[in-house]
């Protein structure tokens, strides 16, 4: 199997650091691995976490809940109908203060703007993560949210692998070793070594996820690396 499982990662961390389970217990290492995953998640938004969700606005309600587990919203589309997905338009993202000024009279209609309210939503739909709308929906328009979701977390008992462990195992290992040496309080040179290794690998992942995967040879052209020729 390609990549690495959570159990194998725990074994590798203990092997690299030469510290046994009496100090690096499973509970400690699962927390370290979680911190490493959060670091990668915030350094590089990977395509595997891109999701979409379709729902209906509530008439005369100035907000809509974002999907459970949403980390951030990429775009919002709204149709001119209450069923199907005909004639969608993209809403324009603005600050909450703009929406307050634009729609102080609380006019209703087909929304044109949206703003973010709250943060990540966790595992349930709540108003702690929502989009504010202006104008306020006059009916139950169909809308679609494009967003990045919180990735599945590695756990020995419930989730042995995820996209990062299978496709970025070396970077995950280096990120976990940085967290581990910080927990062990040294040696500093090893922490710096693995931090540098992590930064090198995460740059390669960035080149893939937000570089090559965002390009198209037809529309963007083939990437070419300049080669300096010798002087005649």
Clarify whether residues 83 and 121 are in a common domain.
yes
Instruction: Kindly state whether residue 230 falls inside one of the protein's structural domains.
Output: no
Clarify whether residues 121 and 91 are in a common domain.
yes
Clarify whether residues 63 and 38 are in a common domain.
no
Read out DSSP for 41-100? HHH---GGGEEEEEEEPPTT-SEEEPPTTEEEEEEEEE-SSSSS--S-EEPEE--HHHHH
Residue where a domain stops, chosen among 132, 149, 166: 149
With contact defined as beta carbons under 8 Å apart, do 163 and 151 qualify?
yes
Residue 210 pLDDT > 90, yes or no? no
Residue where a domain stops, chosen among 123, 149, 175: 149
Residue 120 has a pLDDT of: 55
Instruction: Kindly state whether residue 171 falls inside one of the protein's structural domains.
Output: yes
Span 47-65, pLDDT tens digits = 999 999 999 999 999 999 9
Instruction: Kindly state whether residue 226 falls inside one of the protein's structural domains.
Output: no
58 vs 124, more confident: 58
- The token duo for 154 is 């590695």
Residue 119's pLDDT band (cuts 50, 70, 90): low
Span 98-117, pLDDT tens digits = 999 998 888 999 999 999 98
Q: How many domains does the chain have?
A: 2
Residue 184 pLDDT > 90, yes or no? yes
Structural domain boundaries enclosing 25: 6-46+152-214
Clarify whether residues 158 and 174 are in a common domain.
yes
Clarify whether residues 64 and 140 are in a common domain.
yes
How do 108-109 and 63-65 pair as beta strands?
unpaired
- The token duo for 128 is 């702690």
- The strand pairing partners of 132, in sequence order, are 63, 115
Instruction: Kindly state whether residue 231 falls inside one of the protein's structural domains.
Output: no
Residue 126 pLDDT > 90, yes or no? no
Clarify whether residues 144 and 54 are in a common domain.
yes
With contact defined as beta carbons under 8 Å apart, do 26 and 175 qualify?
no
Predicted TM-score (pTM) of the model is: 0.83
Clarify whether residues 199 and 135 are in a common domain.
no
Short-list 176, 145, 117, 129, CA closest to 55 = 145
Residue 212 has a pLDDT of: 84
Residue 231 pLDDT > 80, yes or no? no
């Amino acid at each position: 199997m390609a990549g690495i499982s959570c159990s194998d990662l725990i074994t590798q961390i203990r092997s690299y650091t030469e510290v046994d389970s009496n100090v690096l217990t499973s509970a400690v290492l699962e927390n370290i691995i979680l911190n490493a995953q959060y670091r990668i998640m915030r350094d590089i938004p990977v395509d595997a976490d891109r999701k979409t969700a379709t729902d209906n606005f509530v008439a005369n309600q100035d907000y809509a809940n974002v999907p459970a587990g949403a980390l951030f919203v990429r775009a919002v589309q709204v149709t001119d109908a209450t069923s199907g997905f005909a004639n969608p338009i993209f809403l324009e993202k603005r600050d909450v203060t703009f929406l307050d000024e634009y729609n102080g009279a609380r006019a209703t209609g087909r929304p044109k703007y949206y703003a973010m309210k709250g943060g990540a939503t966790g595992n349930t739909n709540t108003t702690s993560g929502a989009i504010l709308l202006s104008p306020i929906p006059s009916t139950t328009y169909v809308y679609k949210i494009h967003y990045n979701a919180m990735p599945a977390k590695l756990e020995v008992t419930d989730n042995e692998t995820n996209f990062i462990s299978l496709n970025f195992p070396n970077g995950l290992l280096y990120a976990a070793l940085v967290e581990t040496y910080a927990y062990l309080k040294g040696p500093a040179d090893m922490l710096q070594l693995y931090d540098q290794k992590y930064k090198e690998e995460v740059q390669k992942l960035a080149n893939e996820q937000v570089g090559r995967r965002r390009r198209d040879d037809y529309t963007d052209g083939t990437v070419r690396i300049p080669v300096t020729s010798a002087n005649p």
